[in-house]
Chains A and B, each alone.
Chain A
Amino acid sequence: ETGVTQTPRHLVMGMTNKKSLKCEQHLGHNAMYWYKQSAKKPLELMFVYNFKEQTENNSVPSRFSPECPNSSHLFLHLHTLQPEDSALYLCASSPIMTGLTTEAFFGQGTRLTVV
């Protein structure tokens, strides 16, 4: 285990549903991330939080809404998703040293299917 825990592991939701993905890390890291991994595409960075402040929103549609209440927890709220949003959603955390992000530690991911 990497120390980053994601729940749920699998989620099936309808296009009109509202659901949330949860990520938790107890590694003492300052930065947390949401990534999307679709088949045959590179990992796509969605959001970055440094010290609980959002520093990156990589042109993500508003139907994805992140929340970072503290440096150990990160949520991704989902609302009126589309079938093309089906993917593996990965949370990661990393320490920040002198303004640079070093290696990221990933959770197991949530496999999301939108029907």
Chain B
Amino acid sequence: QKEVEQDPGPLSVPEGAIVSLNCTYSNSAFQYFMWYRQYSRKGPELLMYTYSSGNKEDGRFTAQVDKSSKYISLFIRDSQPSDSATYLCAMNRDDKIIFGKGTRLHILP
């Protein structure tokens, strides 16, 4: 079983919709949970991180962690065409950061 599983998509939703992106993981030693956004021809950039179960909100973005289910989510409200990108979940273990495959998201105007 891979340490981090993420559906690569692509996921297409209409502008204004709520987007839900998810990852599952198998290693209960992970402590920090992160979401990165990667635009075409660019490196990934950190969007949000959290280290506890529950929700963390930042503007239109909400990161959710459920450690008991080993499941993390990123919600995007009022999605915009500029949100079209690849979203990668990531989590740390010791001195490594393990990434998911990334989900390609298209917001349709």
- Which residue numbers of A lie inside 8 Å of B, CB to CB? 2, 4, 6, 31, 33, 35, 40-43, 45, 48, 50, 55-56, 90, 92, 94, 96, 99-109, 111
Contacts and interface: CB of A to CB of B under 8 A. Distances in A.
A103 B48 CA distance: 9
Contacts, number: 72
Interface in B67-109: 88, 90, 92, 94-102
Contacts of B6: 42
Contacts of B94: 99-101
Contacts of A43: 44, 88, 99, 102
5 contacts: A35-B99, A42-B101, A90-B43, A96-B95, A103-B49
A2 to B, nearest CB: 6
B42 interface: yes
Interface of B: 4, 6, 8, 31-32, 34, 36, 41-46, 49, 88, 90, 92, 94-102
B43 A106 contact: yes
A103 to B, nearest CB: 5
Contacts of B49: 102-103
Contacts of A55: 95
